[in-house]
A and B are shown apart, each in its own frame.
Chain A
Amino acid sequence: MRIVKLHKSNLMSFLEEISQESELWAPVKKYEDKHIFKNIEDFDQIDLDYTRTILPPKKLLFPPSFRMYEATPKKFHADFSHISKKTLFGVHPCDIHGLLIMEQFFKQSYEDPYFSEARKNLTIIGHSCWPDEHCLCRSTQTHIVEEGYDLFFTDLDKNYLVWIGSSHGDDLIQLKPDIFDEDVTEKDIQQFMRWREERDKAFQSEIQFEAMPDLMELKLGDSVWEELGEACLACGSCTSVCPTCNCYNVRDNPVLGKEASDITRCWDACTLENYSAVAGGENFREKKSDRLKLWYTHKLQAFISKYGKPACVGCGRCVATCPVDINIKTVAQSLQGEKVDAFWRRLNQEVTQ
Chain B
Amino acid sequence: MNTTKPQSIKTNPFLPEPARIVRTYDLTDDVRFFQVRIADMEKALSFRNRPGQFVMISVLGAGEAPFSISSTPSRPGLLEFCIRKTGIVTDALFRIKENDLIGLRGPYGNGFPVDNMVDKDILIVMGGLGAAPLRSVLLYCLDNRDQFGRIILLHGAKRPAEMIFRDEFLSMKERDDLECYLSVDEDDSGQWTDNIGVVTTLFPKLESIDPANTYALVCGPPIMYKFVLKELVNLHIPKDQILMTLERRMKCGVGKCGHCAIDYIYTCLDGPVFTYWDVLHMRELI
Contact = CB atoms under 8 A, between A and B. Distances in A.
Contact of B6 (A76, A117, A276): A117
Interface stretch (B133-141, B153-161, B256-264, B272-280): B256-264
A109 B251 contact: no
A51 to B, nearest CB: 28
Nearest to B92: A252
A248 B251 contact: yes
Given A220-B283, A276-B248, A302-B264, A80 B4 contact: yes
Given A69-B15, A113-B6, A250 B251 contact: yes
A252 B4 contact: no
B4 A83 contact: yes
A249 B58 contact: no
A68 B14 contact: yes
B28 to A, nearest CB: 15
Contacts, number: 133
Interface string A81-120: 1011100000000000000000001101111111001000
B15 A250 contact: no
Interface in A9-34: 21-23
Interface string A262-286: 0100001010000111111000110
A305 interface: yes
Contacts of A74: 18, 101
Contact of A247 (B6, B64, B259, B263): B259
A247 B258 contact: yes
Nearest to A118: B4
Contact of A80 (B5, B254, B259): B5
Interface string B58-96: 101111100000000000000000001011001000000
Please classify the interface of chain B as helix (H, G, I), strand (E, B), loop, or mixed, using the class held by over half of its residues. loop
Interface residues of B, number: 43
A275 to B, nearest CB: 7
Contact of A110 (B4, B9, B90, B256): B256
B224 to A, nearest CB: 14
Contacts of A246: 256, 258
A286 B264 CA distance: 20
25 contacts: A23-B2, A68-B15, A75-B18, A76-B15, A78-B9, A80-B6, A85-B2, A108-B255, A110-B13, A111-B11, A112-B256, A113-B9, A113-B11, A117-B4, A250-B64, A251-B63, A263-B64, A268-B259, A277-B249, A278-B249, A279-B84, A279-B86, A279-B247, A298-B263, A305-B264
Interface of A: 21-23, 68-69, 71-76, 78, 80-81, 83-85, 105-106, 108-114, 117, 121, 220, 246-252, 254, 259-261, 263, 268, 270, 275-280, 284-285, 294, 297-298, 301-303, 305-306
Interface of B: 1-6, 9, 11-16, 18, 58, 60-64, 84, 86-87, 90, 101, 103, 247-249, 251-252, 254-259, 261, 263-264, 269, 283-284
